[in-house]
Amino acid sequence: MEDYGFFSVAAAIPELKVGDCAFNVQQIEKQIVEANEKGAGMVCFPELCITGYTCADLFFQETLIREAEKAIAGLLKATEKLPTGFIIGAPVEHNAKLYNCALVCQAGKIAGIVPKIYLPNYAEFYEKRWFEAYKLDFPVTETEYAGNRTAFGTNIVFGDSERNFAVEICEDVWAVIPPSSFHAMNRAQLIFNLSASPELIGKQQYVKSLLSQQSARCQAGYVYTAAGFGESTTDLVYAGNAYIYENGRLLAEAQRFQFNNQLIISEIDFDLLTAERKKNTTFVVRPENPDYKKIAFNLKNTQEIALSRAVNPAPFVPTTNYYNESCEEIFSIQVAGLAKRMVHTHVKSLIIGVSGGLDSTLALLVCAKTVDKLGLPRKMICGVTMPGFGTTGRTYQNALNLMQSLGITTKEISIVPACEQHFKDIGHNPEIHDVTYENTQARERTQILMDLANQLNGMVIGTGDMSELALGWATYNGDHMSMYGVNLGIPKTLVRYLVRWVAETQMDALSQKTLRDIVETPVSPELLPVDNQGQMTQFTEEVVGPYELHDFFLYYMLRYGFRPAKIYYLAKHAFCGTYDNSLILKWLEVFFRRFFSNQFKRSCMPDGPKVGSVNLSPRGDWRMPSDASVNLWLQEIKNQVIANVSTLI
């Protein structure tokens, strides 16, 4: 059963009665069964859920402690045939002391007992009155509990050779160095936290921030569940918070202040976490640590994974919550990169080809903002529109309108005569619209820009984006080349959003109108002749495929090193209802073929600023031989095609 690295986890908040272990176990058993039916491989319950967290001095009563152990023995018996593992909280006596513990259980057995390290000592919950604090440096020992001989200690990692988890309890994560930090360094990729944290105004957002940061710092999944309805409200209220995080990202959360049982489920991507840890040189993995005990635990999904977590179809595009801040930051990085290069080179002008398309528009906007910030006149920007055989009236007019509204120096130089002469020189039939026909135009435009830069003591600003570099959709030593490429870290899907953002936030009404039309214009190099009505006949995405798919493929290939089968699996979820599976596979094959065959263009790409976590610069994020074979990747894609066909027969 292929799970593509995903493991299904659940966080449960059961209704309970303080001190009624039989009732509490009954509710817990129901949720374990529910989690198992829904395919969760592990389910975590709140702190001291067997007895209730708010028992106070009842923890001194032998009746409660014995009944808790008896109830747990019954729970183990009732769930021994269920594959889903679970973690419950209970008071456990060990060496004549009482500990606040998490019990890790599966298939009728207790795999290990983890005691709490940091006990709160506040007026509201005085845990040190009832429980002993365990110490990080205490060795892992053994104990007898509920008919099981099992490990007892904090330094325990559960799992197998590939997937591992560990446990901490409530206050532990608030410590200066939480136990989960050590667990992560000892190969735990998933942390469970059993909690019972009372509500205070503003506390929830702090807790979410804390968990997000800890999961990101540990590069781990983090499952947190806290006590809810049924705990005593003598002095405090417990709202029932539950969250599932992955490397800083919130995957699922419970509704607070609910009066019924709650169960939230999501999937932790172990492949993603492993990839992050491999690349992050600051993440420390300790060699075999004698202080830690490894306990075998089955971390296999109980049924075929059906992703409940959202897969973003546009991973490069800022989320809605941070849209303005992210766009401003991206644009500022581009501006700062260009500004430094201008100051260093003492150029007197910026030379840029303006086509009326998205990429050259964004690059021109970056130029305008840069000279503004440097206190220089916009007239030092020389925008050149170079109409050719495929230039349409729409893009031509948009280019002129934009340059005029921005107040830059404008030049118009037709490339038609020069290209026709070149065709004669090399003996090419201009009626043959092949790669020679197209690339002649691209290189002629680049030559004009380079020569103008010499003439005007200027710098040629590149307009090509990262998606074009990934696919090799650029003429070698044509539009592929510049003196500084401000868009080299920007994928095509993001270019459109950035242009729209600049239009909405920084432009006058006239410029806004032009920019909106540019955003709506189909992507095209306009290198093939227009039709009889003067309309474009060449559409990039009909040739190489949809950029939103290619950017998705690019992100997951470069960011995490995912194999084609997993990228395809994710794409099916992200683009469900947009593209059928056969189309996704078709363009996935095109992506890998073009990506491998065009590395030679990326090996000599110009300087340009990195903007996000993915970049193709040979001096930075991506170093690849130009003659590497793509066969392994294509074979895996072929296997997916065969698998898809077989399911239809």
Q: Which residues are catalytic?
A: 47, 116, 170
Burial of 394 from C-beta contacts in 10 A (0-12 / 13-18 / 19+):
middle
Please give the Cα distance from 453 to 439 (Å, whole number).
21
Could you say which DSSP state residue 615 is in?
-
Q: Are 150 and 79 in contact (CB under 8 A)?
A: no
- In order, the DSSP letters of 420-486 are HHHHHHHT--TT--SHHHHHHHHHHHHHHHHHHHHHTTEEEEE---HHHHHHT-S-TTTTT--SEET
Please give the Cα distance from 330 to 251 (Å, whole number).
25
Instruction: Give me the residue label for tokens 């449960």.
Output: 12
Question: Hey, what amino acid is at 406?
Answer: L
Instruction: Give me the residue label for tokens 């991506």.
Output: 622
Q: Are 345 and 415 in contact (CB under 8 A)?
A: no
Edge-to-edge strands, sheet with 85-94: 141-145, 148-152, 109-115, 97-106, 85-94, 42-44, 6-13, 262-269
Q: Find the Cα–Cα–Cα–Cα dihedral 500, 505, 510, 515, rounded to 10°.
A: -10
Q: Are 352 and 403 in contact (CB under 8 A)?
A: no
Tokens of 256: 């607070």
Tokens of 88: 């419950």
Please give the Cα distance from 126 to 100 (Å, whole number).
13
Q: Is residue 577 classed as helix, strand or coil in its secondary structure?
A: coil
Please give the Cα distance from 443 to 419 (Å, whole number).
10
**Within 13 A of 555's CA, how many CA atoms are on the CB side?**
23
Q: Are 295 and 111 in contact (CB under 8 A)?
A: yes
- In order, the DSSP letters of 334-374 are HHHHHHHHHHHHT-SEEEEE--SSHHHHHHHHHHHHHHHHT
Please give the Cα distance from 81 to 535 (Å, whole number).
68
Handedness of CA 342, 345, 351, 356 (dihedral sign): negative
Tokens of 135: 């110490």
Please give the Cα distance from 477 to 33 (Å, whole number).
63
Question: Hey, what amino acid is at 241?
Answer: N
Please give the Cα distance from 350 to 463 (Å, whole number).
12
Tokens of 575: 């683009």
Instruction: Give me the residue label for tokens 């066969």.
Output: 631
Q: Are 43 and 12 in contact (CB under 8 A)?
A: yes
H-assigned helices in 38-144: 62-78
Could you say which DSSP state residue 63 is in?
H
Please give the Cα distance from 621 to 619 (Å, whole number).
7
